[in-house]
Structure 1
Amino acid sequence: MQTILKFVVTLALVIGFVPRFLPTVSAQDITITIEKGDEKTSSSTKKSPFSGKRPSVDVAILLDTSNSMDGLIDQAKSQLWNIVQDFAKAKKKGKTPLLRVSVFEYGNSGLPASEGYIRQVVQLTDDLDKVSEALFALRTNGGDEYCGAVIQEAIKRLDWSKEPNAYKAIFIAGNEPFTQGSVDYRKACKKAIGAGVVVNTIHCGDYQQGVDGKWKEGAELAEGEYLNIDQDEKVVHIKCPQDKIIIKLNRELNQTYLWYGSKDRRMSYAENQAVQDSNASGLGGLSVRAATKSSSVYRNVGRDLVDTYEEDKDAVLKIKADELPEALQKLAPAERLKHVESMAQRRAEIKAELAAVSKERQAYLDAERSKIANESDAVTLGDAISAAVKQQLKASGFQFEK
């Protein structure tokens, strides 16, 4: 064994790899296996700094939508914006990540058996309103839950970031054994980490039952976290004195959006933003959603003129007149730009107010939660994802705002 150790360390020094059994290995490092005789060991290499304007973060959420998972889906709906907030607070070299989210459902007998009872609900997208819309449309129905198959499909179908140091992760939640189906979960998990995608497994139920059902092994194979939750635990939303101000500012923020595209698309974007506000409000989470909308993680480049202008000032002048908001269609190019700049300034002011009030709200919330911290030790989907995300992003070089 000493001979093998010397061989691997020497190789590390020569080609720059850091073996897995040496300290400070990131969850997002690329792993390669070196074989010598009957022994195996692993080594990892650090990825180079991101070369784009913003670091890439791709997250696929794989949800079991069989009959017993109504509670899980409710938690996903209720805690989406809490989860997104974790990414909004993360920065790498001062840059907030470009977040894309995908959703798959599996284990639903209403889906085709020929496709393994799997459906890609949303491709990786930065349109977070679309993700919210998809979650609220999910319905449970009894079926067979094939974890290996849905992980394999997520790796195969999604256009995962090619950014050298992108954070790419799967979060799969369910309650049946991880071993079901014709696709070997071990091969699927190894293929995932081979593509640089960490697999985090969330077992809905008893910790040891999840271990016995191979959920823990699946996470370990793909360098992820194994977590267990109570999918039937109700998410508690605490009312805060800042909520009324935040809701008012959110309405004002919505008025700064200048949706563009065909008339139907413009209407669809505006309506969906309002519907997802309503959906969040119905579950007591509008303040968290509004706080997220005040961050750069909530972006609508290619849909909204202000966000598009912030990224590419010339793009606004290239849009056809009939695809602009009606109020801008008859304006000259210079007047059009002036209007967009004015709206951008107004949005920045509202976002600054929202961020300040949201910070006050968070401080109040933290104080209130500390009073009831010992009343329940149940972990929900949002808690589990948040814990894993913070740990893995830090390992990938991100820092979190306080």
Structure 2
Amino acid sequence: MRAAVDESTFRQTLARWPSGVAIVTTEGALGRHGMTASSFCSVSLDPPLVLVCMDRRIRSHHLIEEHGVFAVSVLGRDHIDLGRRFAGMQPGVKDRFEDTGWETRVTGSPVLADAAAWVDCKVRHAYPGGDHTIFVGEVVDARVPRLVAPLLFHSRAWGQIADPLPDAVTVADVGAAGRLALRAAPRRPAARLLDSLADAGVRVRLPGGRPHFARAGEDRVLPVSALVPGPDEAAAAVASGATAVEFTVADRHGTLGVPLAGIPALISAVAGSAVVVGRIPDALNPSRAPRVLDLVAALRGAGCDEIALEEAEHTDADVSPDQSSPLHLRLLLQDAVQLAGAVPLRLCLRDDHGLGLVNALTAMKSGVRHFDTALAGCDGTLDTERLLLLCSRMGVGVPVESGPLAECRAELIRLVRRGRPRRPA
């Protein structure tokens, strides 16, 4: 019977279906071999079965048939070169396994040590499928070596996950109260401003862990946070009315903050009465990316309710080499979001050199839903209004109405100006 669809059309059609990329390997009496494949999927949970489809003309098919075993290593987004090598796209390579970390498990088939995931299988069934054979393997061992975004294949091109924009974002102000305190603004008007900002749904960080400014006659709690240096101050902040307690993790000798070993005591001092936010300083510095990812995993394991990544302040006139670019931020967040798991990631961006909104958009597309900002862009932190305006223009829900926020901004500017010391005549 004549084929209903020609081969070229069939290939073009299937190319529109995105899939993950894996390396299928086997090893036995006839030697070791591996190839890149996208025709891999699960079959059954009980017993655990997976399948791979292999072209009957290639060597991998013959070896799997003879050895009766195979392994599948799922590639991460940083494995593009490895995927190309095992796809035969790098001429001159004599040993595809050279200079790469491979291990052998139960069946003896090689698995990639830093894969996104791998399964080790014994062939249980082999079914004919046209010019391919469908090998069904019983999984005898499996691991997830690291949490990393997967490598994708679509339209004959290698790529990465492009996350959609979020339905909504939240913001927390980390600059207005401190700015007012530094400018010695009048306490009562400043209290009213911060009260209004918190009442609008923006969590406000108060300097020194002071209690929130509750309006007279109203028995309610407004969202406020306190940045604390240790457990005692955390307990005092909660007793004073803080709904969130923040701390900076000290990850280098001699730096200020809470050491990793001290985090359990701080969380215990809060006793579930407030959200605990672990903050990682200079988190967007490209040279610190591996350490930042380690800290994200450590803060999650310690039990933090939120993890905040802070961009360091840059004072140079030109773009600093350690300043985050949207590309670096994208790569960092792909792994950080995976490592954080169910723990929300916060991002505190600077607006140096006009990159704040670009980085914010990149972060939203990378899975970040929570931002630390500052009313009127205090001290170079990303401007709350500008971020929310961007969100509103892109159909992303925002927690604050523009009218009340604009009033808060105008009042902040007025109070800051009013609090400035007068010049002597």
TM-score (norm 2): 0.28
Higher share in helix: 1
TM-score (norm 1): 0.29
Higher relative contact order structure (alpha carbons within 8 Å, sequence separation ≥ 6): 1
Higher share in strand: 2
Larger Rg: 2
